[in-house]
Structure 1
């Protein structure tokens, strides 16, 4: 094997069928800027090590992603490390935007791109490809004789589609289906185990399962199921190299050895959950494959590229030490970058947020224009204005450069912070005990996922209402002597409002302090729509989304199982009988059990006019049931609680303070603590949007005094 002096920075990004952006001329000569790195392998025996720069884009699991402790992992990452070992070089990873991988290869910023890149004829005109290291073909499985035919993603629109979490097909359905408006979010059911999806297909809970062809062919041996579509999301994946790269032959030889030794199959089983029998066979390597030798071409097209020089503020040291920023605090993040392409950055070049470890990690950031011109070779200091989220946690947001044609390029920039927990607001004063009202709870301190039981006895009452702070009062009337099971996901205050027979009103409050569980599954969202009160014959949609280590999800009404082994995210429709209906979703995992619960009252009478209220249709607006700030006047340095409840056709909830986004993708019913250190009046705004982008909002204000 010829000596490989330098294994370059590896670029990682997502699969896309489009060619690399136009303006990346093939055959541009690249200077080989190889540098030796001295490494003392043992005392008095220094060894000369050399390094290859490999590029990836770490937002495409299971091929490339960041772990919970912010480390790169995935099939492509593991393969790059194996290639480095076989070639005797160190590997330096560069997390870059996919659109910019071709340009980064052209200008020598990276030496190879492992980014789940599918080979196409258009891409072959711009880069060289190694032999294939992964081949797959998606298929659709349905019940036999269901009359379903799937030729493309649009054909899935009428159906409930099951898919396994973390697979390329989940990303494909999300990005090419839901994000483009071709599929309804409620129709995508994400499972931890593909076997559970197939079982639910047999039971009629889903209509279609999308996965790799080979395992679905095995499932279709059951005569009750049939393959109804194939050739979906085809993938023929290889390593991309610059035209004429000397790395082509050495990497091909290493891939050949890794395939024969079973290492590629081991990676597929570890990261893609495919065993040997489920893998598509790789075609025979092209004998004597060599790089495409082309003369340097003269072209007027320029190449966009950008490299990070240093963090100028809030350096998180690779997320080892993300600096603390108090909840809701505005701050700035700055980087120094270099234009190492051949295009001059002029009007139209912007730095834009491209995601993070959680949706809230954008931290209110907005696209920021480049104040050019910035010529090739020049450095430029970038600054963005951000606001720390209100919810405590660790956040990492990502930013990329975008050119005037809308294509992302260059190193992905990141900002990482820690939002510490704030003091718990002072609870409201305890009301003077009344002989006519008894309101108790069995526990006031619990761990997330646990439940408590409230009990009350009221005499001489005209009406009694039990509700969590932020919920609508009039929809939560209860009997004067009753009990209720509640499973608050966060610290929550519950109220018992009593309207006495003499017309007077009294309120009793009990706060449940919830200690978060870092290991148990996490509820991203849980709603029952419509909520509060419905009539007999009316149906509700139970929606949930769970993340973390999950082994089983159970959906129940009044503790009677409606769906065991449910997906990580999904929707279940139920038409309850008259009476009280307590809907719950229980998520179990190695770290414990989390539970979300919502109570509903089903009455016999119909609304005025004798017509039952219909379940909200996709085109209807969301409903803001309540939005409060308590107390609405505080002293400097103290805290208040913002609480809200929304229902109806809701897809996204946002909270703003003085027009600055402080909470994104909020739960549909919840509350946050905000501690304010400057006197003045603050305006909070709650936005609720549906899938069609229609938004309704409410505003409340609070005053901070000295």
Structure 2
């Protein structure tokens, strides 16, 4: 994995000029420019405001560092050629061109972008960020560039419409982690007791929510209308059953008290809003019909959506988490231009070097966790890995995951993120990229590696270190996503490699695990007599077929 570094070259200037000049070729539609009340467009002052440290850094380094999230189409996503495309990328390039400053784009977990701004790891957050009272308490915003409506996606064979937000309480609803939609459902439905907390499912990537919707593991998805329209056009069997409820004003986020930076961004954004460039970008990347960029009046014979109260602001954290990618220690992929070959079925260890750029100390309760990938098999059976020890701010550490190359000949890109003790993800998103050979060799082991993703595994214990010779439980939460039930007389879980700390080699399932159900797998273990970091690997198997790998890394401390 490497940073994406984009320089605005003359060819981009020409392309941008062509984009504006060719806008007359787009479908004729009413011109409606976003002008929301949350951030009114104001005239640029004749005298530039005082400078600020962020703008001074941009000028000194001759680059703007942009934080984005590459998992939210049509704003930003990775295409089949491993290029990042979408509205946000085009917007970033145009801003850099107009400021005549090169840009550097970094991929982050969406919920980690506010922290990245606070610790000065990025200069701007451009990731379909909506303005909320909570965010406005610690971030400044540019003029609004797009007004997104809340939309509800469902399967085509399900309910006809959702007109009242409270109707969602009766269904299993998927949302994206860290989004305003997650906050809306949590605050309005779960916290008020209208909705069972188990019915609110949060996903790292919207693609994962779509797959679960198609597989009937969730009933509805609450998402931005632009993204809902994208998925509705990309996948058969989906439909939008509700929209409105709450307007999302999208803008570029930056630190508070950055008057010069905000003035410069406001200036070019206002120019783009008034000269037609923003409208052209919206038509190109989001929707050709822009009549609903701003809310339209509802017919008098239709019920109005349920009014939603504002979200209360939150207390700032005591410290900010941050993580910066430093280098690929093993299996570099040259920014996915030349991913290394790994034989199908072969195990390998991917190692990244990262730095704690935040103000919080990482503890062994922090962990590296799989986030998303270009295909379902991109997880490559990788399991969450706990940080081996405390990592102080500024300290660099190597993080490794044990993976198995999928059997199918393909190029895989799997993205990983760090999660703190509260389950919040932060920092740059790192990835592993490999290509498998077309001719697979059969591994000699009697236990074959998985050929796909049949389950989702989360290690829930141990989260802390254990003392030498002490008894402890290794506990995994496993969700069956194989598409079939796991019969108790045909499936079991067994030890396959690593340090032998267990009492039994094989355990049978006590009952059948139905598709979509989750279970806890518990293995009694005894810590080795010598302090150190130990690894042991188990697997859920059916005969000679392995469905998924269960890994535990445990730190054994002296008494």
- TM-score class normalised by the smaller sequence: 0.5 to 0.7
In structure 2, distance between residues paired with 1:391 and 1:196? 24
Maintained 8 Å contact 1:653/1:689: no
Aligned to 2:406: 389
In structure 2, distance between residues paired with 1:360 and 1:420? 15
Alpha-carbon distance, 1:324 to partner: 0.7
Larger radius of gyration: 1
Cα pair distance change 1:309/1:277, threshold 3 Å: same
Within 5 A, what are the aligned runs for 1:80-479? 80-138=92-150, 150-152=163-165, 154-155=167-168, 175=202, 184-185=216-217, 209-210=240-241, 230-232=244-246, 234-245=247-258, 246-280=260-294, 301-422=318-439
Aligned to 2:515: 690
Within 5 A, what are the aligned runs for 1:291-690? 301-422=318-439, 653-654=454-455, 689-690=514-515
Alpha-carbon RMSD: 5.1
Maintained 8 Å contact 1:157/1:182: no
* TM-score normalised by L of structure 1: 0.46
Alpha-carbon distance, 1:280 to partner: 1.3
Maintained 8 Å contact 1:53/1:93: yes
Alpha-carbon distance, 1:281 to partner: 7.0
Cα pair distance change 1:140/1:186, threshold 3 Å: closer
Maintained 8 Å contact 1:265/1:275: no
In structure 2, distance between residues paired with 1:397 and 1:196? 22
Higher relative contact order (CA 8 A, sep 6+): 2
Maintained 8 Å contact 1:268/1:275: no
SS of alignment partner, residue 327 of structure 1 = coil
In structure 1, distance between residues paired with 2:96 and 2:169? 41
Cα pair distance change 1:123/1:141, threshold 3 Å: closer
Alpha-carbon distance, 1:691 to partner: 2.6
SS of alignment partner, residue 344 of structure 2 = coil
Maintained 8 Å contact 2:340/2:435: yes
SS of alignment partner, residue 402 of structure 2 = strand
Aligned to 2:544: 701
Alpha-carbon distance, 1:125 to partner: 1.0
Alpha-carbon distance, 1:655 to partner: 11
Maintained 8 Å contact 2:160/2:241: no
Alpha-carbon distance, 1:279 to partner: 2.0
Gap runs ≥5 in structure 1: 1-5, 9-28, 38-48, 162-167, 214-229, 283-298, 426-633, 645-651, 670-682
Alpha-carbon distance, 1:32 to partner: 6.4
Gap runs ≥5 in structure 2: 1-5, 9-51, 175-179, 186-199, 222-227, 297-315, 458-475, 486-505, 522-539, 546-559
Maintained 8 Å contact 1:137/1:235: yes
Quick check: which one's strand share is greater?
1
In structure 2, distance between residues paired with 1:302 and 1:405? 13
Alpha-carbon distance, 1:378 to partner: 1.4
Alpha-carbon distance, 1:301 to partner: 2.0
Maintained 8 Å contact 2:322/2:356: yes
Alpha-carbon distance, 1:185 to partner: 4.0
Alpha-carbon distance, 1:380 to partner: 0.9
In structure 1, distance between residues paired with 2:426 and 2:171? 36
Alpha-carbon distance, 1:93 to partner: 0.4
SS of alignment partner, residue 89 of structure 1 = coil
SS of alignment partner, residue 343 of structure 2 = coil
Maintained 8 Å contact 1:398/1:414: yes
In structure 2, distance between residues paired with 1:141 and 1:64? 20
Alpha-carbon distance, 1:34 to partner: 2.7
Alpha-carbon distance, 1:668 to partner: 6.6
Cα pair distance change 1:279/1:58, threshold 3 Å: same
Quick check: which one's helix share is greater?
2
Alpha-carbon distance, 1:701 to partner: 3.2
In structure 2, distance between residues paired with 1:153 and 1:420? 51
Alpha-carbon distance, 1:372 to partner: 2.4
CA displacement 1:60-82 (0-9 Å, x = unmatched): 11111111111111111111111
Maintained 8 Å contact 1:57/1:96: yes
Alpha-carbon distance, 1:243 to partner: 1.3
Alpha-carbon distance, 1:100 to partner: 1.7
Alpha-carbon distance, 1:415 to partner: 0.4
Alpha-carbon distance, 1:157 to partner: 5.3
Maintained 8 Å contact 1:7/1:53: no
Maintained 8 Å contact 1:359/1:665: no
Alpha-carbon distance, 1:209 to partner: 3.0
Alpha-carbon distance, 1:273 to partner: 2.2
In structure 2, distance between residues paired with 1:699 and 1:313? 33
Cα pair distance change 1:83/1:210, threshold 3 Å: farther
In structure 2, distance between residues paired with 1:194 and 1:98? 23
In structure 2, distance between residues paired with 1:352 and 1:336? 15
In structure 2, distance between residues paired with 1:108 and 1:301? 17
CA displacement 1:535-571 (0-9 Å, x = unmatched): xxxxxxxxxxxxxxxxxxxxxxxxxxxxxxxxxxxxx
Cα pair distance change 1:365/1:268, threshold 3 Å: same
In structure 1, distance between residues paired with 2:382 and 2:95? 38
CA displacement 1:101-135 (0-9 Å, x = unmatched): 11211121100000111111111111111111111
In structure 1, distance between residues paired with 2:7 and 2:341? 36
Maintained 8 Å contact 1:7/1:54: no
Cα pair distance change 1:30/1:402, threshold 3 Å: farther
* TM-score normalised by L of structure 2: 0.57
CA displacement 1:439-484 (0-9 Å, x = unmatched): xxxxxxxxxxxxxxxxxxxxxxxxxxxxxxxxxxxxxxxxxxxxxx
